[in-house]
Amino acid sequence: MSEPQPVVGELTSAAVIVVATIEPGGEDAVREALADFGDLEDSVGFGSPLAELSCVTAFGSDAWDRLFGGPKPPELHPFVPLDGPRHAAPATPGDLLLHVRSENQGLCFELAHRLLDRLGPAVTVVDETHGFRYYDRRDLLGFVDGTANPHGRGALDAALIGPEDPFAGGSYVIVQKYLHDLAAWNAVSVSEQEHVIGRSKLENIEMSDEAKPGDSHVAVNTVIGEDGEEVDIMRFNMPFGELKSGEFGTYFMAYAASAATTEQMLRAMFLGTADAPRGDRILDFSTALTGGLFFAPPVEFLDDPPQPGVSAAELLPITADAVPVASPSDGSLRIGSLKASMS
Ligand code: HEM
């Protein structure tokens, strides 16, 4: 399989998440800058190996069209906004996502700074979040956040596109910045909060199916696949806040082998389900301010991205296992395997 970006890893104690738009005409500068990202990461992180500095770079749908030639990840489209009976999930601008993680907040800041410096005026930052670890991996609602993430092989399967796919090693990322109404949250009892989430607050133990309300966050987000097994995503939520403005939030971010899984969860949360007709109760205390869908291609793609205007057929020797996947009428180049472009 192509080498994935460092999508799957431990939940770090710090992260800087940057969403930027690409200026008209800035496409060449962005493509050239991408090739230097790995070196910049080494420059900032090599001297502090225990800090586990990493960065994932991902692209929005329009940006993909503007930056790269060749086929496009089939599930990469603009984030679908949702307008439910009580809560809305807006789609907000974003061409480029930088997810910088480390045990050391200073290194996150430095690397994000260097990357943006390298991108220069080609991009405009539209959102910047500095996330931190809060107690024992709790969100600002006070609940441990991330426990049900899969581990090991399961984490790779949940987050990364499998080897038989043209986009093997890539990952779909959905991000949303939420603000919590802490006054309203703290006005309800701990027992009530536990029924909103579906786990106990102190011990972090999931409620039994009988005890767990159908509109609790955990119940709403349990997706069962055709094989009867739960379908997982890899979540890397980070708390953030600003005391001056009284902002207390969770930056939701999830990597998935299929964007449809996370999108199904979002529809359940915002539009509701049979067991939760008014949607996920966590939304009574949390408002989504942003929403974006991005694709994080494998490392080789970033090092040598296909140029726009050059057909994939001209760029690549087509491999024997390349098979037509779609008709040209949909804009596809009929190349079944991207492997050649990534090698
Ligand atoms: C579980 C918090 C948004 C998907 C959880 C848990 C907490 C939590 C505390 C239980 C512990 C755990 O397993 O992590 C939050 C907060 C959010 C948020 C504070 C934003 C306000 C979302 C969104 C999605 C999502 C937008 C999906 C689109 C999940 C899933 C689980 C989960 C899949 C695991 C369910 C299971 O146990 O099988 N979340 N979450 N969360 N959340 Fe969220």
In a domain, 323, yes or no: no
Quote the ligand 1 centre to 5 CA distance (angstroms): 23
Helix (H, G, I), strand (E, B), or coil: what is residue 37? helix
For residue 130, give the H/E element and its range.
Answer: strand 123-132
Q: Is 282 in the pocket of ligand 1 (CB under 6 A)?
A: yes
Give Cα separations from 222 to 215, 216, 269, 340 (angstroms): 11, 10, 11, 37
Q: Which atom of ligand 1 is nearest to the CA of 218?
A: 35
Fill in the DSSP letter of residue 91.
-
Q: Please give the Cα distance from 336 to 119 (Å, whole number).
A: 32
In a domain, 28, yes or no: yes
What integer pLDDT is reported at residue 2 of this predicted model? Answer: 84
Q: Please give the Cα distance from 66 to 39 (Å, whole number).
A: 25
Confidence of residue 325 (pLDDT cuts 50, 70, 90): very low
Quote the ligand 1 centre to 140 CA distance (angstroms): 13
Judge whether residue 320 has pLDDT over 90: no
In a domain, 318, yes or no: no
* Smallest CA separation from ligand 1 atom 36, residue: 218
Q: Please give the Cα distance from 334 to 325 (Å, whole number).
A: 6
In a domain, 306, yes or no: yes
Q: Give the whole-number percent of the chain exceeding pLDDT 90.
A: 87
In a domain, 273, yes or no: yes
In a domain, 331, yes or no: no
Judge whether residue 318 has pLDDT over 50: no
* Smallest CA separation from ligand 1 atom 35, residue: 218
Confidence of residue 341 (pLDDT cuts 50, 70, 90): very low
Q: Is 148 in the pocket of ligand 1 (CB under 6 A)?
A: yes
Judge whether residue 310 has pLDDT over 90: no
Which of 129, 221, 282 best tests ligand 1's pocket when mutated (most atoms within 8 Å of CB)? 221
116: tokens are 């943006």
Mean pLDDT, the chain, rounded, equals: 91
* Smallest CA separation from ligand 1 atom 2, residue: 145
Q: Is 179 in the pocket of ligand 1 (CB under 6 A)?
A: no
Which of 134, 135, 143, 145 best tests ligand 1's pocket when mutated (most atoms within 8 Å of CB)? 145
What integer pLDDT is reported at residue 170 of this predicted model? Answer: 98
What integer pLDDT is reported at residue 327 of this predicted model? Answer: 35
pLDDT tens, residue by residue, 189-234: 999 999 999 999 999 999 999 999 999 999 999 999 999 999 999 9
Judge whether residue 321 has pLDDT over 80: no
In a domain, 139, yes or no: yes
Give Cα separations from 133 to 12, 57, 173, 179 (angstroms): 7, 22, 21, 17
pLDDT tens, residue by residue, 271-288: 999 999 999 999 999 999
Judge whether residue 239 has pLDDT over 90: yes
Q: Which atom of ligand 1 is nearest to the CA of 232?
A: 33
Judge whether residue 328 has pLDDT over 90: no
Quote the ligand 1 centre to 149 CA distance (angstroms): 9
Q: Which atom of ligand 1 is nearest to the CA of 204?
A: 11
Q: Which stretches within the chain are classed as H helix?
A: 27-34, 37-45, 61-67, 105-119, 152-159, 182-186, 190-197, 217-220, 259-271, 299-303, 312-315, 339-342
Judge whether residue 57 has pLDDT over 80: yes
* Smallest CA separation from ligand 1 atom 3, residue: 252
In a domain, 177, yes or no: yes
Q: Is 262 in the pocket of ligand 1 (CB under 6 A)?
A: yes
Q: Is 199 in the pocket of ligand 1 (CB under 6 A)?
A: yes
Q: Please give the Cα distance from 114 to 119 (Å, whole number).
A: 9
Q: Is 285 in the pocket of ligand 1 (CB under 6 A)?
A: no
Identity of residue 13: S
Judge whether residue 326 has pLDDT over 80: no
pLDDT tens, residue by residue, 112-153: 999 999 999 999 999 999 999 999 999 999 999 999 999 999
Total domains present in the chain? 1
- Enzyme catalytic residues: 145
What integer pLDDT is reported at residue 311 of this predicted model? Answer: 52
Q: Which atom of ligand 1 is nearest to the CA of 233?
A: 33
Q: Is 293 in the pocket of ligand 1 (CB under 6 A)?
A: no
Q: Give the whole-number percent of the chain exceeding pLDDT 70.
A: 90
Output the CA torsion 262→171→142→11 (10° steps): 160
Structural domain of 55: 14-310
Which of 237, 258, 285 best tests ligand 1's pocket when mutated (most atoms within 8 Å of CB)? 237
* Smallest CA separation from ligand 1 atom 39, residue: 145
Q: Which atom of ligand 1 is nearest to the CA of 139?
A: 19
Q: Please give the Cα distance from 99 to 209 (Å, whole number).
A: 35
